[in-house]
Amino acid sequence: MDTTAFQELTVLVVEDSDYYRRLIITNLEAMSVGTTEESVNGEDAFEAQQVRSIDLALVDLEMEPVNGLELTRKIRRDEKSADRELPIIMITAHTDEECVFAARDAGVTEILTKPITAESLYKRIYSVVMHPRPFVEHETFVGPDRRRGDCTEYHGPDRRLNGSSTE
Amino acid sequence: MAETSKLREKVGDLPAQLDPAIVERVEAEVAAFNSEVEAEFGDEIAHLQELTSDGSGVMSDPERRRALYRYVHRVWGDAPSRGHPLLGRAAESLCLLLENDEPSDDMQIAILEHHVAAMASI
């Protein structure tokens, strides 16, 4: 990996655990991320997102007073948001389907489950960078397209079949 | 619909795998960091014991129960990365108990106390 790849990036780390915040930043610094910003809850993070230019946010789920899902919705929908399309990687210890769907429906770009490793973190960043999904702005949903089909160019009547035949 | 590809313009193409040298460096740094903060874990478990010393009081007070949930949830998230996966499992199990909003009974209070005792033992 070219170690200069991430040098121009500013990554916002939103995590209320001092330990985990430092762990994430240790990983980012080892990947030569140029700038890391820190927030301890969603409220502070939303303010930081308005005044600093952020390329990527790593957001913990369980925080107070504003949790990771609420922060994601604010970034996606609030008129004060500096970048509604900001890629957001949600970090959580929860692996249940309910949590994954809630994150997806809030507009999260990727989910990363704890415990994190350098490889798992890189894999999510890689996915955000190399496999961006169309950004959807609709009355009921704002965020990266929740469908992850490979066939993104085809818009015909059978587009949901993803190449498989009905016969 | 616009694609969220601003990041790719900034960083260019990435290799599918992270450089093993970087992985090795992170692992060494995390191991050193974990040994620095190992002693703090004992204090955190002692604080957990304080928070739950009045089991029935905690379980019947939604605000205290929520505060305890948040504390235990943090242990759940942190412990595996700090080299204590079993402690993380115990914390996860305790979070499941605390998530339940139904009024607590003697059985739930006993389960709470056993969880905290188990976490202190680990």
User: What number is the ipTM of this complex?
Assistant: 0.86
Which pairing describes strands A110-113 and A134-137: parallel, antiparallel, or unpaired? unpaired
CB contact under 8 A, B78 and A55: no
CA A73 to chain centre: 12
State the Cα–Cα distance between residues A34 and A10, nearest whole angstrom. 6
pLDDT digits (tens, 9 = 90+) for A7-34: 999 999 999 999 999 999 999 999 999 9
Which among A9, A31, A64 has CB closest to B10?
A9
**A97 phi/psi in degrees, rounded to 5:** -60, -40
Kindly state the tokens that stand for A134.
Answer: 């169309």
pLDDT digits (tens, 9 = 90+) for A62-81: 898 999 999 999 999 999 99
Domains of chain A: 10-161 (3.40.50.2300)
Which among B1, B7, B29 has CB closest to A26?
B29
Whole-model pTM above 0.95? no
Q: Is A108 left (phi over 0), alpha (psi -120 to 50) or beta?
A: beta
Kindly state the tokens that stand for A159.
Answer: 């587009």
State the Cα–Cα distance between residues B18 and A123, nearest whole angstrom. 8
pLDDT digits (tens, 9 = 90+) for B86-103: 999 999 999 999 987 777
Q: Tell whether the model's pLDDT for residue B122 goes beyond 90.
A: no
State the Cα–Cα distance between residues B34 and B27, nearest whole angstrom. 10
Count contacts between A and B (CB, < 8 Å).
116
Which pairing describes strands A110-113 and A10-14: parallel, antiparallel, or unpaired? unpaired
State the Cα–Cα distance between residues A108 and A142, nearest whole angstrom. 10
Return the SS3 of A76: helix
State the Cα–Cα distance between residues A3 and B24, nearest whole angstrom. 15
